[in-house]
Chain A
């Protein structure tokens, strides 16, 4: 063996050498009684140590030992729960909600342009000119307002009877 080989005896013993190198070193050890004796010593020492790893007993009671750990842990925040991967529904919801909101906005804008409210179309800039406002269709009400006279008339249409009912100053 060359001078470096003794160091490799430990590695041979531990199966840490490449196969070819292990074969060569094993062959060399068989031809060399001194190397064989050294390998035997290393092997004995390894066996003695491995058999000696007896479990050491904690020199403190379980309660005392745990109390310090618990105190330190309580000073800390609890472990952060792992962030779970969002499910398919959660992913879809993330996509659907903004899309739906955008679509709703577009619908409002488009219908606003295509079907302007009668009130908006009949509104006149001159405050002295009487205005006629047709309120939302669902209420079936029409308002006549003359600011110069201080008069406001509201007609409520009874669809069933098809006969208008009149009131003043927004009452009724």
Chain B
């Protein structure tokens, strides 16, 4: 690994060095941000192996596209966008492989009626941190890819509707609708999972 040589060098400078072909500088960037990039891939794919492969591919793509990085966002944010796009491409390919019946289940409302009973209290109140994480992980696993994607992009990446729409290739209205149903489904799942051992 790059060792302490770059430990005090900031990301911008490392990017400049990497642009000039300095692989050790890029290695330092990977070391700094690998967990975040992996975490984002995992939150979208919910699969450790795929998340690992996709996040590594994202780094390779990042290296290839370094000249395109304009510094308008942080390097970590720029890399996150790359891994998100790779994951969405992967999920689209997966979706194409699914049968039509499975695809039909992934409609906007995911079988939910807008007027389902409201969960009146926080279904995760009082849970320990690890337990809370387990419940949320399980709930995210059970969401459709479409609902999970909008939730991750909005809640974890703080993306606006128009940016989400552009990223996943739909209208902002569709994002609004998916986000509504995704939150409702998530609330119901959290309440159910809370009561499971």
Contacts and interface: CB of A to CB of B under 8 A. Distances in A.
Nearest to A3: B114
Interface size class of B (residues with CB under 8 A): 35 or more
A56 interface: yes
Interface in B149-197: 151, 154-156, 160-161, 172, 176-177, 179-180, 183-184, 186-187, 190
Nearest to A53: B156
B83 interface: no
Contact of B155 (A8, A34, A38, A49): A49
A10 B147 CA distance: 14
Contacts of A9: 180
B161 A16 contact: yes
Contact of A49 (B1, B31, B64, B186): B186
A125 to B, nearest CB: 67
B122 interface: yes
A24 interface: no
Interface string B1-45: 100000000000000001111010011001100111011001100
A78 B17 CA distance: 12
A79 B180 CA distance: 43
Contacts of B161: 11, 14, 16
Dominant secondary structure at the A interface: helix
Contact of A56 (B20, B38, B119, B124): B38
B104 interface: no
A56 B30 contact: no
A53 B124 CA distance: 15
Contact of B56 (A57, A65, A76): A65
Contacts of B122: 44, 48
Interface residues of A, number: 46
Given A76-B64, A81-B19, A37 B118 contact: yes
A76 B187 contact: no
B183 A78 contact: no
B190 A34 contact: no
A9 B36 CA distance: 31
A58 interface: yes
B19 A49 contact: no
A20 B136 CA distance: 35
22 contacts: A7-B177, A16-B160, A16-B172, A34-B118, A44-B119, A44-B122, A45-B183, A48-B132, A50-B156, A56-B43, A57-B35, A58-B52, A66-B31, A69-B60, A70-B27, A72-B60, A73-B23, A73-B63, A79-B18, A79-B67, A80-B67, A81-B21
Interface of B: 1, 18-21, 23, 26-27, 30-31, 34-36, 38-39, 42-43, 48, 52, 56-57, 59-60, 63-64, 66-67, 114-115, 118-124, 132-133, 136, 151, 154-156, 160-161, 172, 176-177, 179-180, 183-184, 186-187, 190
